[in-house]
Structures are given as C-alpha cells and as structure tokens.
C-alpha cells in the first residue's frame, strides 16, 4: 500500500502536455512523464521566479517537499532536453484550484471556477468546449477539495 500523501494544489491545468523533439519517429523515443505537481513547481519557481517558501504555500505543501519536487522536475526536464525524450505531463497527487476551458469553435480560452458550470463559450456562444481539467481526469474531485479542504 502506498502511504497517503497530502494533495498538492495546482493553479490550473497546463495548456500543453505533450512534447517531442522534431525529426524523430513516433514511439522511437522513450516516454518521460512529468507529473502535474512537478510541472507546477517549475511554473512557480522558474517561470514566475517565486521564492520556494512562497511557492510551497501556493501549492499547500511544506518547503522541503517543494524543494524535492522542483529537483525532480528539473532533473526530468534536463533529461528531456539532453536525451531528446518524448515528454508528457500527466498524473501527480494533485487537485486543480481552477479550471481552464478552450472553445473548439473559436479558440477562445477562459478560466472558470469549478463551482461554475459553463455550457457556452462567452466569445462565440458555441457549446463545443474542451474541459482541460477533465482531460487530466479532474473536475468534481477538485471542486470537493476546494470546498472541504485537504483530503
């Protein structure tokens, strides 16, 4: 049995989740998985330049957990860059704080709270919407987490 761990909080689902070096045959490269909490650690510390303490608070984890997370993430990303692996973002012990919806019709992208049910694109009114959190297997679980706290 895996010991239960605290869920880490990720602000929003990533827009891009699949990366490959160009000029490489499909399936030729070993798949490298970057988990969603590792992705978030890189986004906060490296992309936004946040202090580790601040970033840890943002993800609702301890500073030492954050440091381990960012080390793991950087190791994977360096491996992707140097060895040219196929990198996908998925998994991780997380919930999202908010969702991101993309309209398949007009390409409009918008942030929504999990409490809000969106049926139509505010840009063009289309119902053909892509639920990014849903693509990672999240949705109601994140809504519950937001409402009742850590579980």
User: Smallest distance from the beta carbon of 67 to Zn ion, in angstroms?
Assistant: 24
Supply 12's token pair. Answer: 């929003």
# chain residues binding Zn ion, by CB under 5 A: 12
Rounded Cα gap, residues 103 and 125, in angstroms: 9
- Residues 37-76, one symbol each (x = binds Zn ion by CB under 5 A, - = not), give ----------------------------------------
Q: Which of 105, 109, 110, 135 binds Zn ion (CB under 5 A)?
A: 105
C-beta contacts of 72-80 below 8 A and 24+ residues apart: 72/38, 73/34, 73/38, 73/39, 73/41, 73/42, 74/42, 74/46, 76/32, 76/34, 76/38, 77/34, 77/42, 79/32, 80/19, 80/32, 80/34
Identified binder of Zn ion from the candidate list 126, 127, 130, 151, rule CB under 5 A? 126
**Is 106 near Zn ion (CB under 5 A)?**
yes
Stretches 23-31, 37-45, 53-61, 113-121: which one binds Zn ion (CB under 5 A)? 113-121
Q: Nearer to Zn ion by C-beta: 80 or 114?
A: 114
């Amino acid at each position: 049995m895996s010991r239960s761990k605290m869920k880490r909080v990720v602000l929003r689902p990533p827009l891009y989740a699949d990366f490959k070096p160009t000029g490489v045959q499909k399936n030729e490269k070993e798949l490298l998985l970057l988990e969603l909490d590792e992705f978030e650690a890189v986004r906060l510390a490296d992309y936004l330049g946040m202090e580790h303490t601040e970033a840890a608070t943002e993800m609702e984890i301890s500073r030492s957990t954050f440091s381990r997370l960012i080390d793991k993430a950087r190791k994977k990303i360096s491996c992707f860059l140097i060895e040219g692996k196929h990198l996908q973002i998925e998994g991780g012990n997380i919930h999202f704080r908010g969702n991101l919806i993309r309209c398949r019709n007009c390409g409009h992208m918008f942030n929504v709270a999990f409490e809000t049910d969106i049926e139509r694109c505010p840009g063009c009114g289309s119902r053909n919407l892509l639920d990014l959190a849903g693509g990672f297997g999240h949705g109601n679980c994140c809504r519950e987490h937001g409402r009742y706290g850590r579980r």
